[in-house]
Amino acid sequence: MAVTKENKEQILSKFKTSELDTGSAPVQIALLTARINDLTAHFSKHKKDFHGRRGLVTMVNQRRKLLNYLHRKDAGAYQAILKTLELRK
């Protein structure tokens, strides 16, 4: 259900910009996307989990804010992360 430690390490190794990078916008976007995808699968089974859905909406909003920030600061990285995570088609 949740993002495992191995998945998190794999995401960090793929998106980090330096050795100690755990909080840059691309890393946060990738981690939020993994959590959102897990919760989306959860909600297909548990349709009446409205309290959990509130958390999902919060995560989607946070990811949207980070994507807007990345688009303003570095449009190339924005396009790369959209293509890598397959967010927009």
pLDDT digit string (tens) for the chain, length 89 residues: 678 999 999 999 999 999 999 899 999 999 999 999 999 999 999 999 999 999 999 999 999 999 999 999 999 999 999 999 999 86
Give the count of alpha carbons within 13 A of 1, CB side only.
6
What residues does each domain of the chain span? 5-85
Q: Find the angle CA(56)-CA(7)-CA(60) to the nearest 5 degrees.
A: 20
Which contiguous run of DSSP H or E holds residue 62? helix 50-73
Give the count of alpha carbons within 13 A of 20, CB side only.
0
* CB contact burial 37-49 (16+ within 10 A = b; e otherwise): eebeeeeeeeeee
- The domain 5-85 is placed in CATH, from the list 3.90.1010.10, 3.40.190.10, 1.10.287.10, 3.90.1150.10, at 1.10.287.10
pTM, whole model, 2 decimals?
Answer: 0.92
